[in-house]
Chain A
Amino acid sequence: ILNVEQSPQSLHVQEGDSTNFTCSFPSSNFYALHWYRWETAKSPEALFVMTLNGDEKKKGRISATLNTKEGYSYLYIKGSQPEDSATYLCAFKNYGGSQGNLIFGKGTKLSVKP
Chain B
Amino acid sequence: DTGVSQDPRHKITKRGQNVTFRCDPISEHNRLYWYRQTLGQGPEFLTYFQNEAQLEKSRLLSDRFSAERPKGSFSTLEIQRTEQGDSAMYLCASGVVGPAQETQYFGPGTRLLVL
* Contact call B100/A100, Cβ cutoff below 8 A: no
* Contact call B4/A89, Cβ cutoff below 8 A: no
Q: A34-B104, A104-B43 are in contact. List 19 more A-B contacts (CB 8 A).
A: A6-B42, A31-B100, A32-B102, A43-B3, A43-B106, A46-B103, A46-B105, A49-B101, A49-B102, A49-B103, A91-B43, A100-B55, A101-B33, A101-B45, A101-B48, A101-B58, A102-B43, A103-B45, A104-B42
Q: Which residues 7-31 of B sit at the A interface, judged by CB distance below 8 A?
A: 31
Q: Which residues of B contact A32 (CB under 8 A)?
A: 100-102
Complex: A1 Cα to B4 Cα, angstroms: 30
* Contact call B56/A101, Cβ cutoff below 8 A: yes
Q: Give min CB distance, A94 to chain B, whole Å.
A: 10
Q: B101's closest neighbor in chain A, by CB?
A: A49
A51 at interface, CB cutoff 8 A: yes
21 example contacts (A-B, Cβ-Cβ < 8 A) are as follows: A32-B100, A34-B104, A41-B108, A42-B108, A43-B3, A43-B4, A43-B105, A43-B107, A44-B43, A45-B106, A46-B103, A49-B101, A51-B100, A98-B45, A99-B55, A99-B56, A100-B31, A101-B58, A104-B43, A106-B41, A107-B42
A4 at interface, CB cutoff 8 A: yes
The interface of chain B, by Cβ under 8 A from chain A, is 3-4, 31, 33, 35, 40-45, 48, 55-56, 58, 91, 100-109
Tell me if B's interface is mostly helix, strand, loop or mixed. loop
Known: A32-B100, A99-B55, A100-B48. Contact between A44 and B106, CB under 8 A? yes
Complex: A4 Cα to B45 Cα, angstroms: 14
Q: Which residues of B contact A36 (CB under 8 A)?
A: 106
Complex: A31 Cα to B58 Cα, angstroms: 20
Complex: A27 Cα to B42 Cα, angstroms: 20
A26 at interface, CB cutoff 8 A: no
A71 at interface, CB cutoff 8 A: no
Q: A46's closest neighbor in chain B, by CB?
A: B103
